[in-house]
Amino acid sequence: MTETLATPAGEPGTQRRPPLDPNAPVVLSVEDLKVQFPTEDGLVNAVNGVSYQVKAGQTLAIVGESGSGKSVSSMAVMGLHDPKRSRISGSIKLDGDELVGASQSHFRKLRSNTVAMIFQDPQSSLHPFKKIGAQIAEAYLAHHKVSRSVAAKRAVEMLDRVGVPNPARRAKQYPFEFSGGMRQRAMIALGLVNDPKLLIADEPTTALDVTVQAQILDLMNDLQREFGSAIIMITHDLAVVAEVADHVLVMYAGRSVEKGTAQEVLASPRMPYTWGLLSSVPSLTADVGSDLKPIPGNPPSMLHLPPGCSFEPRCPYSDRVPGDRCKTEMPEFLEVPGEPGRLTRCHLADPAAIFADEVAPNLE
């Protein structure tokens, strides 16, 4: 499995993301999305009024803990929730096309064609009995009236494009003959075969080693430049966000709690949960002599959300807000004055000052 030799491809000092184009067309617009699951114990509000937009050629990272609703909201975009077991409301406009309440046959036309998804575990999301090339060709045939041989050729082309060495031979192999990184490349080829406008990547590198993760993230950046797709990157790894994202949406307990450009959210976050996430990761340059600073406690149960701010039980700063507002009143998701497109959900009067004085000095 070592078809190629390594090269010292270090390019020092390059900006990893190109500058943002403000006039790029909006590909996906999600407004006040709610996804609820009725269960025996009550109604689970997995996603509770989330709004975001993704523009062509740009990447939105959705960050949050397990159970924060990050995967559930993007599965709604793909129409992957069983309509009998879930209630979806709000609006999902993909390229101007309303998807809430759309029929399964409508979704089938969109899937892989306009929107495609890459999953965390390529082992279980590829068909184990079918050859890789055939799986990619099948996706192409579903949306194009071409002969099988043309589709097969297209599959080989795609494998080549995502950096699978020896694509013609590899297309005739089964998923088990691929290594983890190669399988994820094949998944990306499968996702991009119909040149979708939107690619949803659900933790695409979590199962991979760092060296392979770096390859895959580079590849996704390159392909985005080439195909101009919009990408939604679902992840819990803030360092990955720093590498690939233009915009970041932080979710907690089914709600969006902070939104802005990657630069804004990671460099000067305004919400204690984001502070906690940033502080709890040991960096490669941090002082090793001190303990890590975890967020105390556990995420709340989605069945019994606190009446006020969902993060209040774990928030070390809630006593800075006068009265019991954090306990009793859910903060609105509001724009930060003077910073258009930057939203946070917090009662704190001056989060910027608290971050600069108390949180940022501990991050190094």
Partner 1 sequence: MTDNTTDAASDTGAPRQPDSAFTLDKDTATEPVVHDSGRDREILLTVTDLVKHFPVKEYTGLFPKTLQTRAVDGVSFDLAKSETLGLVGESGCGKTTTGRLVTRLLDPTSGSIEFEGHDIAHLKEKQLRPMRRDIQMIFQDPYGSLNPRFTVQQIIGAPLEIHDMVPKKQVKARVQELLELVGLNPEHVNRYPNEFSGGQRQRIGIARALAVEPKIVVADEPVSALDVSIQAQVMNLMSKLRRELGIAFIFIAHDLGIVRHFCDRIAVMYLGKMVEVGDREDIYEKPQHPYTQALLSAAPDLNVVRGAVPNERIRLIGDVPSPIDPPSGCRFRTRCWKAQEICAAEEPPLDPAKDKPEHVIACHFPEVKTDLVADSDAS
Please tell me whether residue 323 binds partner 1 under the rule CB under 8 A.
no
Using CB under 8 A, which of 202, 203, 243, 246 touches partner 1?
243
Instruction: List the x/- string, 166-205, binding to partner 1 by CB under 8 A.
Output: -------------xxxx-----------------------
Q: 72 near 35, Cβ under 8 Å? A: yes
Using CB under 8 A, which of 48, 74, 213, 310 touches partner 1?
213
Residues in the chain: 364
Angle between helices 180-192 and 132-143 (to 10 degrees): 10
Task: Report the b/e string of 267-291 with b at 16+ CB within 10 A.
Answer: ebbbbbbbbbbbbeeeeeeeeeeee
Please tell me whether residue 212 binds partner 1 under the rule CB under 8 A.
yes
Please tell me whether residue 217 binds partner 1 under the rule CB under 8 A.
yes
Please tell me whether residue 85 binds partner 1 under the rule CB under 8 A.
no
Residue 109: CB minimum distance to partner 1, A: 29
> Which residue in 80, 154, 152, 71 sits closest to 111, CA to CA?
80
Chain residues 303-322 in contact with partner 1, contact rule CB under 8 A:
303-304, 313-314
Number of residues that bind partner 1 (CB under 8 A): 81
Residue 199: CB minimum distance to partner 1, A: 19
Whole-number Cα distances in Å, 294 to 2, 54, 64, 72, 206: 40, 31, 15, 26, 21
Please tell me whether residue 9 binds partner 1 under the rule CB under 8 A.
yes
Burial label for 208, CB within 10 Å (0-12, 13-18, 19+), is buried
Chain residues 244-303 in contact with partner 1, contact rule CB under 8 A:
262-263, 266-267, 276-286, 288-303
Nearer Cβ to partner 1 (106/320): 320
Please tell me whether residue 24 binds partner 1 under the rule CB under 8 A.
no
Chain residues 97-136 in contact with partner 1, contact rule CB under 8 A:
none
Question: Which bin fits 38, alpha (ψ -120 to 50), beta or left (φ > 0)?
Answer: beta
Nearer Cβ to partner 1 (26/286): 286
Q: 127 near 175, Cβ under 8 Å? A: yes
Cα separation, 55 vs 29, in Å, equals 9
Residue 115: CB minimum distance to partner 1, A: 24
Residue 53: CB minimum distance to partner 1, A: 21
